[in-house]
């Protein structure tokens, strides 16, 4: 169900925590010593958003995998990362409402803002973790915010 249009309230938000929950180079990622051309990388991305009403927070978790694209059918996983951000929403009750079923409804503008910050954090963490590997040239690309909204699951 799409979110209703956001109310006319300013967003008052602060990032209170960023964490790299997990990073791993796969067996293939560890054994490969050849640099991968920039246009042979592919990323997968999943985003989970969790509003926590009693403490006025939103948690975002991103899971991303990095692949070497050998062919359209053959993709070898090189690395995976899980990143989380916690945001304090000062005006939580003004921005986030409940629907008739009792589910919290987060406005699209807040989802986009939290996602864009968390994707930027994930991009930086991935770059740091891959710094001294043959995959240092693998950068999580900039993403269209409309696409990012469609891949976000709200818990």
> Tens of pLDDT along the chain (155 residues)?
444 444 467 889 999 999 999 999 999 999 999 999 999 999 999 999 999 999 999 999 999 999 999 998 999 999 999 999 999 999 999 999 999 999 999 999 999 999 999 999 999 999 999 999 999 999 998 877 666 655 667 77
Alpha-carbon distance of 68 to 36, in angstroms, equals 7
Alpha-carbon distance of 76 to 123, in angstroms, equals 20
Domain segments of the chain as ranges? 13-154
E-strand spans in 53-89? 57-69, 75-89
Alpha-carbon distance of 48 to 84, in angstroms, equals 9
The pLDDT tens digits for 103-137 are: 999 999 999 999 999 999 999 999 999 999 999 99
**How far from 106 is each of 33, 81, 111, CA to CA, in Å?**
44, 26, 7
Say what the pTM is: 0.86
Alpha-carbon distance of 79 to 91, in angstroms, equals 38
13-154 has CATH 3.10.420.10 classification? yes
């Amino acid at each position: 169900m799409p979110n209703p249009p956001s109310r006319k309230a300013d967003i008052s938000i602060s990032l209170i925590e960023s964490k790299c929950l997990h990073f791993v180079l796969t067996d293939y990622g560890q054994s490969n010593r050849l640099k991968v051309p920039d246009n042979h990388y592919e990323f997968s991305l999943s985003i989970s958003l969790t509003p926590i009403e009693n403490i006025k927070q939103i948690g975002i978790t991103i899971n991303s995998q990095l692949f070497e694209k050998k062919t359209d059918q053959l993709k070898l996983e090189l690395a995976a990362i899980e990143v989380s951000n916690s945001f304090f929403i000062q005006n939580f009750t003004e921005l986030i409402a409940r629907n008739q079923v009792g589910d919290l409804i987060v406005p699209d503008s807040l989802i986009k803002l939290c996602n864009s910050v968390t994707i930027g954090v994930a991009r930086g963490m991935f770059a740091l973790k891959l710094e001294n590997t043959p995959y240092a040239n693998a950068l999580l690309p900039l993403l269209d915010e409309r696409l990012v909204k469609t891949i976000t699951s709200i818990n």
